[in-house]
């Protein structure tokens, strides 16, 4: 056990998507004034850090992931003054602050891009301008190239049209990034979440890709100069002892280890993978298939095993890019019960857990009737492709199931108008279930999901086995139950999670006599058992400790 562990290994990180967290100035849009008022709530959950999705000035074509000024706060979210106040208050409450660093692309309204339309501009080489596009696809549907009439050329965008990719091969671009990092680190932020970071280096010749789908990916995912560029940015962070978690597209453990294995060559502290978010879909929720617990377990277990002793996991089951997890892997009918089970299924793994706003109170997917009500561009692009193949109703059902907009409805604070999010009509629809599903109600109910999260987080910090214990999976072919253990010296933890509404029997693994263990958590009022196992009720979870 290393003597001095980095702080992030004991952290619980709460993610705030600012537009929908809390509206402090009554214009219907979440902002930093609202965040400031709710910091105690975040801390009371047990969070020791906050990751802010982008707060920067942005035309909001991709809700802040299209940045037009990296050194300014979006006026609808506040200004640098209130940001500094939030930062300071977080630190006084014992919470670090992590900013979203979006450097694969800028907004098309960023002054660099505007200037780069002119061939003679020094900014021309900041982006990918070509007379002829290649055949790559955008990750949000459609093509990755658009013609710009003013520039008389095509430019590349792996995401929306309004997000031109930066040419990271240009040393001037990398110097700009260094400057941006220093700006925020000098202000006192503690680190970064680095957006689609394994896409920042493209094969320089930008060759056509003759695969049938996701064209281009093999030329920019974990690209040729990725390590070199990450090393350059790490040098900046090291001067501040700052933290970094990267987001990795199509990332598998082996590629992750090349960046996060601890030791001299380490480039990032941890990486987000998408693998466990694909248990009911292929690559994105827009290509759905029935939920497979086997697939989910394999993803969790692969990452636990392959990183053990070598690198640190970033644990999450929700963020702003995925529909709500209860609606996917759990059950809206058993909302609270399945929400608790889902909490237990990842909170006792090895790594640093992230909790996304609203996850802790069990918010679920919204279902809007018309595509016009969905703000996200990706929803519209996929809807258009669906409509070529199917009737409107079927297409809408798929969008309702897949859209990340479900994670972006206003946070449900209480049962008053607009869910207590705002005094006026919010920028986006409030989930109609807010009278039953809200933070105030959950705080007052000892059996709520919120209080389950608080207990589970407190347990994580109390039990060394959660941080250091060896991971074991039991019954990996069981299609209904995920059971895993953690073992450290004399301490053994056993976590049992049923992913089904049917009854099924959980047989204790060899060497575990359940009646000799202490039950730490469960999601039913009682917990009948025998030494050999128990009959799981719908979405039942139990956590046992053996000492
Ligand atoms: C990341 C962000 C997502 C954004 C995309 C493009 O995946 O999490 O919200 O749309 O990058 O910046
Ligand atoms: Ca506001």
- Mind listing the pLDDT tens digit for each residue in 369-395? 999 999 999 999 999 999 999 999 999
Q: What percent of the chain has pLDDT over 90?
A: 97
Count of domains for the chain = 3
Predicted pLDDT of residue 480: 98
One-character DSSP codes across 276-288: GGGTTEESEEEEE
Q: If you measure from the C-alpha of residue 65 to the centroid of ligand 1, how many angstroms do you get, rounded to a whole number? A: 6
- For residue 462, is it within any domain? no
Question: Which atom of ligand 1 is found nearest the CA of 66?
Answer: 12
Q: If you measure from the C-alpha of residue 53 to the centroid of ligand 1, how many angstroms do you get, rounded to a whole number? A: 10
- For residue 501, is it within any domain? yes
Residue 2's pLDDT band, with cuts at 50, 70 and 90, is very low
Alpha carbon distance 253, 165 (integer Å): 26
CATH number of the domain encompassing residue 343: 3.20.20.80
Residue 3's pLDDT band, with cuts at 50, 70 and 90, is low
- For residue 143, is it within any domain? yes
- Nearest ligand (C-alpha, residue 22): 2
Q: If you measure from the C-alpha of residue 404 to the centroid of ligand 2, how many angstroms do you get, rounded to a whole number? A: 22
pLDDT higher than threshold 90 for residue 468: yes
Please say which residue of 405, 429, 456 terminates a domain: 456
Instruction: Tell me the three state secondary structure of residue 506.
Output: strand
CATH number of the domain encompassing residue 534: 2.60.40.1180
| Ligand 1 neighbours by CB, cut-off 6 Å | 62, 65, 102, 159, 195-196, 247, 320-321
> To test the ligand 1 pocket, which listed residue (139, 159, 404) has its Cβ within 8 A of the most ligand atoms?
159
Residue 1's pLDDT band, with cuts at 50, 70 and 90, is very low
How are the residues of the chain apportioned to helix, strand and coil, as percentages rounded to the nearest 5? 35, 20, 45
Q: Are residues 142 and 56 in the same domain?
A: no
Question: Quick check: 454 and 436 in contact, CB under 8 A?
Answer: no
> To test the ligand 1 pocket, which listed residue (58, 157, 195) has its Cβ within 8 A of the most ligand atoms?
195
Strands 153-156 and 145-148, by their bridges, are antiparallel
Question: Which atom of ligand 1 is found nearest the CA of 321?
Answer: 9
Torsion 231-232-234-238 (CA) sign: positive
Q: Are residues 119 and 98 in the same domain?
A: no
Instruction: Tell me the three state secondary structure of residue 67.
Output: coil
Please say which residue of 405, 428, 456 terminates a domain: 456
- For residue 4, is it within any domain? no
Q: Are residues 273 and 327 in the same domain?
A: yes
Q: Whose CA is closest to atom 12 on ligand 1?
A: 65
- Mind listing the pLDDT tens digit for each residue in 183-236? 999 999 999 999 999 999 999 999 999 999 889 999 999 999 999 999 999 999
Q: Is the pTM of this model over 0.85?
A: yes
- Nearest ligand (C-alpha, residue 33): 2
Residue 23's pLDDT band, with cuts at 50, 70 and 90, is very high
Give me the helices (H) in 153-290, please. 171-187, 217-220, 226-238, 253-260
> To test the ligand 1 pocket, which listed residue (61, 62, 162, 356) has its Cβ within 8 A of the most ligand atoms?
62
Predicted pLDDT of residue 141: 84
Q: Are residues 225 and 311 in the same domain?
A: yes
Q: Are residues 297 and 392 in the same domain?
A: yes
Q: Are residues 217 and 354 in the same domain?
A: yes
Question: What average pLDDT does range 343-368 have in this prediction?
Answer: 98
Distances from the Cα of 16 to the Cαs of 47, 186, 344, in angstroms?
12, 22, 21
> Where does residue 412 fall: left (phi above 0), alpha (psi -120 to 50 degrees), or beta otherwise?
beta
Q: Are residues 349 and 432 in the same domain?
A: yes
Question: What average pLDDT does range 241-253 have in this prediction?
Answer: 97
- For residue 259, is it within any domain? yes
- For residue 161, is it within any domain? no
CA angle 240, 241, 243 (to 5 degrees): 110
Q: Are residues 429 and 531 in the same domain?
A: no
Range of the domain at 537: 470-546
- For residue 407, is it within any domain? yes
pLDDT higher than threshold 60 for residue 479: yes
Q: Are residues 61 and 116 in the same domain?
A: no
Alpha carbon distance 406, 404 (integer Å): 5
- Greater model confidence, 531 or 456: 456
Q: Are residues 96 and 82 in the same domain?
A: yes
Alpha carbon distance 268, 160 (integer Å): 27
Q: What percent of the chain has pLDDT over 70?
A: 99
Predicted pLDDT of residue 518: 97
Report, as residue numbers or ranges, the catalytic residues.
Answer: 195, 247
Predicted pLDDT of residue 139: 93
CATH number of the domain encompassing residue 120: 3.90.400.10
Mean pLDDT, the chain, whole residue set: 97
Question: What average pLDDT does range 17-33 have in this prediction?
Answer: 98
Q: If you measure from the C-alpha of residue 216 to the centroid of ligand 2, how many angstroms do you get, rounded to a whole number? A: 39
- Mind listing the pLDDT tens digit for each residue in 498-525? 999 999 999 999 999 999 999 999 999 9
Please say which residue of 456, 486, 514 terminates a domain: 456
Distances from the Cα of 444 to the Cαs of 31, 71, 451, in angstroms?
26, 40, 9
Q: Are residues 177 and 150 in the same domain?
A: no
Residue 531's pLDDT band, with cuts at 50, 70 and 90, is confident
Alpha carbon distance 248, 343 (integer Å): 23
- For residue 464, is it within any domain? no
Question: Which atom of ligand 1 is found nearest the CA of 320?
Answer: 9
How many alpha carbons fall within 13 Å on the CB side of residue 243? 26
Q: Whose CA is closest to atom 3 on ligand 1?
A: 321
Q: If you measure from the C-alpha of residue 483 to the centroid of ligand 1, how many angstroms do you get, rounded to a whole number? A: 32
Alpha carbon distance 269, 115 (integer Å): 35
Nearest alpha-carbon partner for 531 in 547, 518, 512: 512
- Mind listing the pLDDT tens digit for each residue in 400-453? 999 999 999 999 999 999 999 999 999 999 999 999 999 999 999 999 999 999
- Residues 6 or more apart whose Cβ sits within 8 Å of residue 309: none
Q: Are residues 345 and 266 in the same domain?
A: yes
- Nearest ligand (C-alpha, residue 65): 1
57 sits in which H/E element:
strand 56-57
């Amino acid at each position: 056990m290393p003597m001095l562990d980095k702080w992030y290994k004991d952290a619980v990180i709460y993610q705030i998507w600012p537009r929908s967290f809390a509206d402090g100035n009554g214009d219907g849009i979440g902002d930093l004034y609202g965040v400031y008022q709710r910091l105690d709530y975040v801390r009371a959950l047990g969070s020791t850090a906050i990751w802010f999705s982008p707060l920067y000035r942005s035309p909001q074509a991709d809700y802040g992931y299209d940045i037009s000024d990296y050194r300014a706060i979006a006026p609808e979210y506040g200004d640098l003054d209130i940001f500094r106040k939030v930062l300071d208050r977080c630190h006084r409450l014992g919470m670090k602050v992590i900013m979203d660093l979006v450097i694969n692309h800028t907004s098309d309204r960023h002054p660099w891009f505007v200037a780069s339309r002119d061939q003679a501009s020094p900014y021309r080489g900041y982006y990918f301008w070509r007379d002829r596009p290649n055949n790559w696809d955008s990750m949000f549907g459609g093509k990755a190239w658009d013609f710009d009439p003013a520039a008389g050329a095509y430019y590349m965008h792996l995401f929306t049209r309004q997000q031109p990719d930066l040419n990271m091969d240009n040393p001037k671009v990398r110097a700009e990034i260094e400057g941006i990092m220093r700006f925020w680190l000098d202000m006192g932020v503690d680190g970064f979440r680095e957006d689609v970071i394994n896409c920042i280096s493209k094969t320089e010749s930008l060759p056509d890709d003759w695969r049938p789908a996701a064209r281009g990916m093999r030329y920019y995912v974990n690209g040729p100069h990725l390590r070199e560029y990450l090393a350059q940015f790490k040098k900046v962070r090291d001067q501040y002892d700052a933290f970094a978690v990267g987001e990795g597209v199509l990332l598998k453990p082996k590629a992750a280890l090349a960046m996060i294995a601890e030791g001299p060559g380490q480039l990032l502290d941890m990486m987000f993978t998408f693998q466990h978010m694909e248990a009911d879909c292929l690559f994105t929720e827009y290509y759905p298939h029935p939920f497979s617990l086997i697939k989910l377990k394999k993803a969790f277990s692969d990452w636990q095993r392959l990183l053990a002793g070598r690198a640190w996991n970033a644990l999450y089951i929700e963020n702003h890019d995925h529909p709500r997890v209860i609606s996917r892997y759990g059950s809206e009918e058993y909302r609270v019960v399945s929400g608790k089970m889902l909490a237990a299924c990842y909170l006792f793994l090895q790594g640093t857990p992230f909790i996304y706003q609203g996850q802790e109170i069990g918010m679920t997917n919204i279902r809007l009737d018309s595509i016009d009500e969905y703000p996200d561009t990706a929803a519209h692009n996929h809807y258009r492709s669906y409509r070529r193949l199917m009737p409107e109703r079927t297409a809408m059902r798929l969008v309702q199931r897949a859209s990340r907009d479900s994670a972006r409805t206003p946070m449900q604070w209480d049962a008053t108008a607009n869910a207590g999010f705002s005094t006026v009509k919010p920028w986006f629809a409030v989930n109609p279930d807010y009278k039953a599903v809200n933070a105030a109600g959950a705080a007052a109910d000892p059996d709520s999901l919120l209080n389950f999260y608080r207990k589970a987080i407190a347990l994580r910090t109390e039990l060394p086995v959660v941080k250091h214990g060896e991971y074991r999976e039991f019954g990996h072919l069981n299609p209904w139950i995920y059971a895993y253990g953690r073992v450290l010296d004399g301490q053994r933890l056993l976590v049992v999670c049923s992913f089904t509404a049917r009854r099924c029997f959980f047989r204790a693994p060899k060497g575990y006599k359940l009646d000799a263990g202490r039950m730490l958590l469960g999601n039913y009022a009682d917990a009948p058992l025998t030494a050999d196992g128990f009959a799981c009720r719908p979405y039942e979870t139990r956590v046992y400790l053996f000492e």
